[in-house]
Structure 1
Amino acid sequence: MSRPVRILVALLAGLFGGILLARAGPQAAAIGVAIAQPVGAAWLNALQMTVIPLVVSLLITGIASTAEAASAGRLAARTIGGTLALLTLDATAAAIVTPLILTVAPIPAGAAQALRAALAGLPVPARAPPLAEQLAAIVPSNVFAAASGGALLSLIVFTLVFAFALIRIGADARDRMVALFAALRDTMLVVVGWVLWLAPLGVFSLALLVGARAGAAAFGALAHYMAVISAVGAIVTLVAYLVVLVGSRVPVGRFARASLPAQVFAVSTQSSLATLPAMLKAAGEMRIAPAASGVTLPLGVAMFRATQPSMNLAIAIYIGRWFGVEVSLAATAAAILAGVVTSLGSISLPSQITFFASVVPIASALGVPLTPLGLLIAVETIPDIFRTLGNVTSNLALTAVVTRDQPV
């Protein structure tokens, strides 16, 4: 049984178990909650402890590899520029569309209230400070205080400055520093793997807590969440077709026909990396020169995950609606920036592994609670299908755009 399936089974078992305990009586439910709450809280803390070192190491190694790719040639530089533009476009679209979806199809009020009550008592990180303080503190006076205080946006700004300064020093010293942070990144991924090995226990405990307090309403709320986040992923896929229509010389019909086999493979494997051969074949059917697609597609797979900032922003906005947090326009802009920047340091791993590290900076910028993420990671399997579909389609669209001046 794969890890996502184990986590999903643990979620269902916990919800059903909590509901049964609640029906058995208040005393049985109280005993179950008393046991499950500290276990779930400890697992959430274990996930959160990996976020800062993982985000910092991923950003530094990602910026270093991006700078190296940009210096490799004009086409690579255009691919990186197109990546930044499309990431920003997709994240902005998600910031506009997600609240509209939640207005048309709001979170069930009873379920939202029940889930808020169910998660009461778990550790809740500090909310984002007022906007004036946030703007003043965006450049941290003490980076260690920013890290210990969970000021992730300030920490990201410092890390970006550090990473861009790093690529300007001598090659030997730069390589040693990059190797150090690469080792830190790989070590933290091992730690994340250990924490996720315990995910069935942690998710079961959180789900038991929710089932005992919220009852069957939890199922409807989680189904609504998956539908909304998946819809945002589908919109990213549609944006890719619009980008092809506006910015490339490939007819949309040909793009759609050529992309279909790669899209089917993406849905079945949920891996952009495994879909790369199918994407290269699709590029050939679009009459894109192999010499061009051989540069843009591997680079895109390595650094361009179109759905990451958009769908993660949708998750944070959803949690904000769930917990009644008012999100300002300035906070949304900061969240878009955090999502785009952190996605550059991301790597081609299943979304369950990088879920916390990629969502937490966005959620922190919006000032929404992080507590629900431990529960939402359990249902990431369904949205992950739309993540991969959007990523593969967007990679092909990016290739069609940046190679439009290349010879066939």
Structure 2
Amino acid sequence: MSSESSASSTGSVPATGSTPPFRLPKVPFWAQILTGLVLGVLLGWAARSGDVAWLVTTLDKIGSIFVQLLKLAVAPLVFFAILVSITNLRNVNNAARLATRTLLWFMATSLIAVAIGLAIGLLTDPGSGTGLTPKDGLKPEHSGGWLDFLTGIVPENVITPFTDLNVLQIVFMAAVAGVAALQLGEKAQPILSLSNAVLELLQKALWWVIRLAPLGTLGLIGYAIAEYGWDLIGKYATFTADIYIGCALVMFGVYPLLLSLVAKVNPLQFFRGAWPAIQLAFVSRSSVGTMPLTQKVTERLGVPKEYASFAVPFGATTKMDGCASIYPAIAAIFIAQIFDVQLDITDYLLIAFVSVVGSAATAGLTGATVMLTLTLSTLGLPLEGVGLLMAIDPIVDMMRTATNVAGQALVPVLVSAREKILDHEAYAGATSSPLDEPADGRESRVAAAAA
């Protein structure tokens, strides 16, 4: 046998003159999303400018099917994610302390976000000069009051929350089941094994849907441009700008400060690692639909898997800095100005209270109508004001949800850093394209929390 053929058979040295097979380069996930975004804007503009009805319909169907696929797994995903995350806490040192710290940081960042929202609303007067009147408002079909919120947590049966997609009730049932499983100990192990298997199955299926995000981006953005254009945004220019500026200040101002001062880590590296989840949230407008990706990027940022599996699902259903803090604060001021109602310091304090306590009312679903009606009913403002904002809701909801998800990834990093269980090597090496790289097999490490 010749030396060349021998080398070829062993694979150590390629044969002289051989050409490696051509392979298409992998396109990073962020680049795929960006491409879908650009194409969506172009197609949407073309459809609106040329009044191409079939193109508008096609973009609508593409975007709607993508969102529908995301929502398909929401109910079982939330139930099993919360159940498993609660039972996983038994594997974490100082689990009660971690859970308490997580909740406190959720509340603290919500207060900061609502304060920024109130400040922007008071400075810009978003309801002035819009040309809108109380006659333009429509009372929503479903509204939320405190009694509805409190009594609505407990379901009447175990089926209706899943069929009606009442995420708050699903969270309640999952939490009860999780605590009961912890109390039963070994007797509950068969149920826990099944729950883990079902959760992995759901996450795998949803991961396939997430890979369709570039196509979903094209449809959702394209239809938004074709349907709304700039005409509608013109009436709500100040309000829309306020929401985007408020969310940007929280996401790119407050969060980096907390990462630098509290966690003492590089904020740019956080956004590099969390960016795929933030992008998907912007497009899908669903915190729960983004949850598997949010958990993946959070773990890649060095948060222990056992803790991340609790904090991220918990955050996806309760941590809403965009939908439950910035948005209702600015929206309440906007509606009060349209209806010529004067708000005082007590009303502003009530808005802050609602944003912290009532954020679970949004429950990770697309839109924040329930949270807004809860805020308006608390302040005594006309619920018809909700109808004024429904038309613009898809536009502002993209930025709100992106802020929600950024906060849901931020808090586990803050808590892990403070409790000295953050893997700093993993944080420093977190990639911006986790969909394109295999899992590195890093074992989650949970050290004893600092005294």
TM-score of the pair, normalised by structure 1 = 0.63
Q: Which whole-Å CA distance do the structure 2 matches of 1:54 and 1:168 have between them?
A: 23
Q: Is the 8 A contact 1:229 1:383 kept in 2?
A: no
Distance 2:419 2:85 in 1: 19
Distance 1:107 1:209, change over 3 A: farther
| Counterpart mapping for 1:207-286 below 5 A | 207-216=221-230, 227-233=245-251, 234-238=253-257, 259-260=264-265, 262-270=266-274, 271-276=297-302
Distance 1:139 1:193, change over 3 A: same
Deviation at 1:58, TM superposition (A): 0.8
Cα deviation code 1:341-378 (max 9, x no counterpart)? xxxxxxxxxxxxxxxxx722994752687996799669
Distance in 2 between residues matched to 1:150 and 1:237, nearest whole Å: 34
Count of matched residue positions in the alignment of Structure 1 and Structure 2: 334
Select the residue among 15, 25, 41 that pairs with 1:15: 41
Question: Is it true that 1:88 corresponds to 2:107 in the alignment?
Answer: yes
Identify if the C-alpha distance between structure 1 residues 225 and 311 changes in structure 2 by more than 3 Å, giving closer, same or farther: farther
In structure 1, C-alpha distance between the alignment counterparts of 2:79 and 2:419, rounded to whole Å: 27
Asked if structure 1 preserves the Cα contact closer than 8 Å seen for 2:144 and 2:370, the reply is no
Q: Paired residue for 1:46?
A: 69
> Displacement, 1:183?
1.5
- TM superposition shift of 1:159: 1.8
Given that 2:36 and 2:218 are in contact with CA atoms closer than 8 Å, whether structure 1 keeps it comes out as: yes
Q: Within 2, Cα distance between the matches of 1:60 and 1:151?
A: 16
Matched AA of 1:315: C
Amino acid at match of 1:265: Q
Q: Is the 8 A contact 2:91 2:306 kept in 1?
A: no
Residue number in structure 2 paired with 1:36: 59
Q: Distance in 1 between matches of 2:128 and 2:66?
A: 28
Query: For 1:389 and 1:206, how far apart are their aligned partners in 2?
Result: 27
Give the SS at the match of 2:155: coil
Q: 2:83, 2:102 → 1: CA distance?
A: 18
Return the alpha-carbon distance in structure 1 between the equivalents of residues 319 and 167 of structure 2: 19
Shift of 1:167: 0.9
User: CA offset at residue 54 of structure 1?
Assistant: 0.9
Partner residue in 2 for 1:140: 155
Partner of 1:314: 322
In structure 1, stretches of 5+ residues that fail to align are 114-124, 245-254, 280-296, 340-357
Q: Which residue of 1 aligns with 2:182?
A: 167
- 1:66-105 to 2 correspondences below 5 Å: 66-69=89-92, 72=93, 75-104=94-123
Hey, what does 1:192 align to over in structure 2? Answer: 206
* Structure 1 residue identity aligned to 2:413: V
Q: Which amino acid aligns with 1:180?
A: L
Q: Which amino acid aligns with 1:156?
A: V
Q: What's the offset of the Cα at 1:38? A: 2.9
Residue 359 of structure 1 aligns to a residue in which SS? coil
Distance of 2:420 and 2:35 partners within structure 1:
39
- Structure 2 counterpart of 1:359, from 351, 364, 376: 364
**Bigger RCO (CA 8 Å, 6+ sep):** 1
Find the counterpart in structure 2 of residue 117 from structure 1: none
Q: Deviation at 1:85?
A: 2.3
Which is helix-richer, 1 or 2? 1
For residue 59 of structure 1, report the CA deviation from its aligned partner: 0.3
CA displacement at 1:241 relative to structure 2: 7.2
Gaps of 5+ in 2: 1-26, 133-139, 275-296, 337-346, 374-389, 422-446
1:162 alignment partner AA: A
Match of 1:167, SS state, is helix
State which drifts further: 215-224 or 160-169.
Answer: 215-224
Match of 1:64 in 2: 87
Summarize the Cα distance change of 1:178–1:226 in structure 2 as closer, same or farther, 3 Å threshold.
farther
Relative distance call for 1:142 and 1:383 in structure 2 (3 A) is closer
Give me the whole-angstrom Cα distance separating, in 2, the residues matched to 1:104 and 1:38: 40
Change (3 A) 1:264 1:226: same
**Where do 1:385-396 residues align within 5 Å?**
392-396=413-417
Deviations 1:279-323 (A, max 9, x none): 9xxxxxxxxxxxxxxxxx776656456986787331355666679
Deviation by residue 1:207-244 (Cα, 9 ceiling, x = unmatched) = 222212332577989886554323223324545778x6
Listed one character per residue, the Cα deviations across residues 188-208 of structure 1 (whole Å, up to 9, x for unaligned) are: 112212222222222212222
